[in-house]
Structure 1
Amino acid sequence: MRSPSSLTATGITAFAAFAGVTVVHLVAQLVDPDSLVTDATQWLLMPLLALGLAASTEPRRDRLVKLILLALAFSWLGDAAPDLFDGDAAFLVLIGFFLCAQITYIAAFLPYRDRSVLHTKRWVLALYAVAVVVLVAVCAPGAGALAVAVVIYGLCIATMAVLATGVSRAVAWGAVVFVISDSLIALNAFVDGFSLPATGFWIMITYICAQALITGGVLSRSGTAHDSGDRAGSADRTADAG
């Protein structure tokens, strides 16, 4: 994988475009959340981020980068596909594609689990667990028929966030911010009386920051950390085969 100092022209252009579209989208969220500009810029965000990552890595990309690109693709579908549906169907489509994204992130981060809080800081693991349990307990009663989906998604994003701590600090913080973004969605959808001014703006700014941190963290991994992660993954697969 190339280092951040050797980003290609295409990668730099894609990341710059991502930053520009982000600004336009966030302004649109504040001015008119239901406008075509708001929707169109949201549809562009993940493709631009994925293009930047793809263009900045070697043609023979490693397992981690390939899975992050797949997770970004599922995230893009989660951003765009719900616009084709209404009501609960739209929310189920959103949860479905983002559940696929979270499962893909879990698969990407799993080889680094030995360096995660699962093994290094159990008290931090407890904090993650408490936060997700409280969130699910608050949201599930108002979710109705979607309660099971909410619980499953909560377990998956918690697992993703825990495993992310083994990859890098940037990826770990990106996962935490992702949890915050999805928590805002759940609270807004299922908790009566929850009111946050410019909710869409806060959901999107945390979501965009989360994806950017995860992508940047993956891109900036040193060769040593990257290789050791691959060796861990290879060892796991060898053990499984045995």
Structure 2
Amino acid sequence: MNTLTTRCVAQTLNALHAEAEIADREHIAGRIAQIETAGETFAQAVPRWLTEERAGYQQIYRGYAGNFLAVSPAYGRFLYMIARTCWAKRIVEFGTSMGISTLYLAAALRDNGGGRIIGSEIEPSKAARARANLEEAGLADLVDIREGDALDTLRAVGGEVDLLLLDGAFSLYLPVLRQVEPFLTRGAVILGENAFDPTYLDYVRNPENGYLSQSLAIDDGRGNEFTVRTA
């Protein structure tokens, strides 16, 4: 038995994944229709999305207040396993949303003997829902969810960081990484979910920047990147 499989955590996660599938169905279908209408491939659509984000990511992501945009159950289990494997004690999460990924990470911290997750969520209603979900699962004591722009809320993270999860505005992955970078321990894991920004990928895949990185074969097509701090 581990925390992830305890009744309260498992029931909370199962209910949230089911709710997320329904809540995000229309959003995903709309994205696909947008690409098809424009006669684009997915790869061709990404630069347009990044340009739109950079022109106003705050407004765009606050517009997703009703969407989970959550990790899959498979990726969630991976988050738990990685956090356990590296004995993470301090985790930073960019893009908490309703707290599904946070629950997996918090379960890992509980089984690691404790620690702290510093989460950042730009939409206040999502941050409130995430706190409620963590409370329901009995994991709220391990998590500090900060409302607002991550470039403000993650300026100070309280100490060395063992794991960084990037799962928010695609165009902010590199700025958030660079901001948290001074706190990363050697061997820290950085996970980019939907890591589509070429400037981010170029940075973490260049060994001169102190990282070793490669794509992750979980949820094919979602652009998952696995990175380790080597310097």
Could you say whether these structures have the same fold, taking a TM-score greater than 0.5 normalized by the shorter chain as the test?
A: no
Question: What TM-score, normalized to structure 1?
Answer: 0.31
> 1 or 2, which has the higher strand percentage?
2
Which TM-score applies when normalising by structure 2?
Answer: 0.32
Q: Which has the higher helix share?
A: 1
Larger Rg: 1
With CA pairs under 8 Å and 6+ residues apart, which has the higher RCO, 1 or 2?
1
